[in-house]
Structure 1
Amino acid sequence: MTSLHRDAVTERRGRGVADIVTLEQRVAVVLRHLLDQDDQEIAQALGCSSATVRSHLSQARAALRLSAHTLTERS
């Protein structure tokens, strides 16, 4: 597999993973894990409660775990 082909496959897989979570879940994950914001800060940004933020994060992690497992099985 050439480097160009490998990059295209990786990009396609990355987009697929991003597509399995909702926009709110993606925003919550980015704010938590890339910007190190707490539940209250994320809740304020999303206009929801802290409990909803925790739910978004939990659901996103579960979906990403399942997707990673599926990708691993296919490889």
Structure 2
Amino acid sequence: MLLLGTMSVAIAAPVATPPAPRLAEPQAKSLANEVAEVGTALVATGQVPALAIAMVTSDEILLAEAFGETAVGSGTGAD
């Protein structure tokens, strides 16, 4: 995890992992809905200005959503 001031950035790299058991459709939708609610709550309470969450299985995108808004600078210091 890379810490930038009060913002942390996690960088995920693909690795070979054994396949997990497939979730039943209702379970997958329920889990995606719960994660989306957490994203909404984090932004609504001001804990983070914005975030994006993706949940992906080997053959399906369960959730790909952005929450909140933020401006992104050039990364070369204060703009």
Q: Give the TM-score of the pair, scaled to structure 1.
A: 0.39
Higher strand proportion (structure 1 or 2): 2
Which structure has the highest helix share of the two?
1
Bigger radius of gyration, 1 or 2?
2
* TM-score (normalizing by structure 2): 0.37
Which gives a bigger RCO, structure 1 or 2 (Cα 8 Å, sep 6+)? 1
